[in-house]
Amino acid sequence: MMKKLSVLFFVCVMLLTFVCGCAQKAEEPNKYIGIISAMDNEIDLLLKDAEIDRVDTFADVEYHIGNLHGQPVVITRAGIGKIRAASGVTTMLCNYPISKVIFTGIAGGVADEAKVLDEIIATRLVEHDYGILSNDGFEWRSGDPGFGNEPGMYYDGDPQLIQLAYDAAVEVLGENHVFKGTVATGDQFIANSQYVQKLRSDYDAYACEMEGAAAAVVCIKYKTPFVVIRALSDKADGNAHESYENFGDIAADNSSKIVLKMLDNIG
């Protein structure tokens, strides 16, 4: 009798698991495009255009789920800096079926040819502040010796998303105002001309910001395609704060317009 009850219990459990699994699969929505930024002004335009179905909150960060220009999206403002960016992307990837991640926002310009309000599409990202600080000064080191990426730990974006972002940026701003290149990430707002030159010479950087490489690391770990796009609000020099105050919102909107054009162009 006990043996029959055990078999019956096992069959019931298996049947329930199967039914619940089928129901979950049937209810699972299409894979979302994850859109993430550091600051509110970097997603304001996107949220205004979006049809938001609901807002989830994890660790005091809001995740807006809905539809934007015909695409299912999850949009969030994770916060400033590498820790918050990594946390925001991880939370997004662990709670929603995300097919790809677009990180949008503003940055400081590093390359001479890139001007304020130009757009940088990151082909790769690097943590410029990761290393050893000794009596001999700062020595940059790889972000993760066992990571398996190219020497020097540059985190490569997804080629298809990079091209999609570049083409969209050219449509919005014109070819003369769009560049592809390395974006350097560190937990500092750079406003120093000498350090800008170092970022250019050491990493061949086009822009510097505070989140991109952290988001890249998480996306690579989770095998999720990603791209980082940055509009220049300043030149990361002694006038960076003033330039950011004057052009930050315009630059943020430019990047958002490029995201919208990307969504329009996704097949």
DSSP codes, the chain: -HHHHHHHHHHHHHHHHHHHHHHHHHHPPPPEEEEEESSGGGTHHHHHHSEEEEEEEETTEEEEEEEETTEEEEEEE--SSHHHHHHHHHHHHHHS-EEEEEEEEEEEE-STT--TT-EEEEEEEEETT-EEEETTEEEE--S-TTS-SSTT--EEPPHHHHHHHHHHHHHHH-GGGEEEEEEEE-SS----HHHHHHHHHHH-EEEEESSHHHHHHHHHHTT--EEEEEEEEE-SSTTHHHHHHHHHHHHHHHHHHHHHHHHHH--
What's the mean pLDDT in 94-101?
A: 97
- What is the model's pLDDT at position 134? 81
Res. 146 pLDDT band, cuts 50 70 90: low
**With 70 as the cut, is the pLDDT of residue 244 above it?**
no
Res. 191 pLDDT band, cuts 50 70 90: confident
145 or 54, higher pLDDT: 54
What's the mean pLDDT in 200-225?
A: 95
**With 80 as the cut, is the pLDDT of residue 187 above it?**
yes
Tokens of 70: 């015909």
Please choose, from the candidates 63, 259, 79, 89, the residue with its C-alpha nearest in 3D space to the C-alpha of residue 165: 259
Please choose, from the candidates 147, 166, 159, the residue with its C-alpha nearest in 3D space to the C-alpha of residue 218: 147
**With 80 as the cut, is the pLDDT of residue 2 above it?**
no
Q: Which of 87-91, 110-114, 144-148, 186-190 has the lowest mean pLDDT?
A: 144-148
- What is the model's pLDDT at position 242? 62
117 or 248, higher pLDDT: 117
- Contact between residue 117 and residue 231 where contact means Cβ atoms under 8 Å apart: yes
Return the exposure string of 10-26: e unless at least 16 CB atoms fall within 10 Å of the residue's CB, then b.
Answer: eeeeeeeeeeeeeeeee
What percent of the chain is predicted at pLDDT more than 70? 79
Tokens of 91: 């939370």
Q: Which of 5-14, 106-115, 153-162, 192-201 has the lowest mean pLDDT?
A: 5-14
Q: Domain segments of the chain: what residues?
A: 30-265
**With 60 as the cut, is the pLDDT of residue 87 above it?**
yes
- Contact between residue 67 and residue 83 where contact means Cβ atoms under 8 Å apart: no
- Contact between residue 31 and residue 99 where contact means Cβ atoms under 8 Å apart: yes
**With 70 as the cut, is the pLDDT of residue 168 above it?**
yes
**With 50 as the cut, is the pLDDT of residue 40 above it?**
yes
- What is the model's pLDDT at position 132? 79
**With 90 as the cut, is the pLDDT of residue 24 above it?**
no
So which residues are the catalytic ones?
A: 42, 234
What's the mean pLDDT in 228-252?
A: 76
Each residue's pLDDT tens digit, 3-17: 443 434 333 433 333
- What is the model's pLDDT at position 136? 85
CATH superfamily membership of 30-265: Nucleoside phosphorylase domain (3.40.50.1580)
- What is the model's pLDDT at position 150? 42
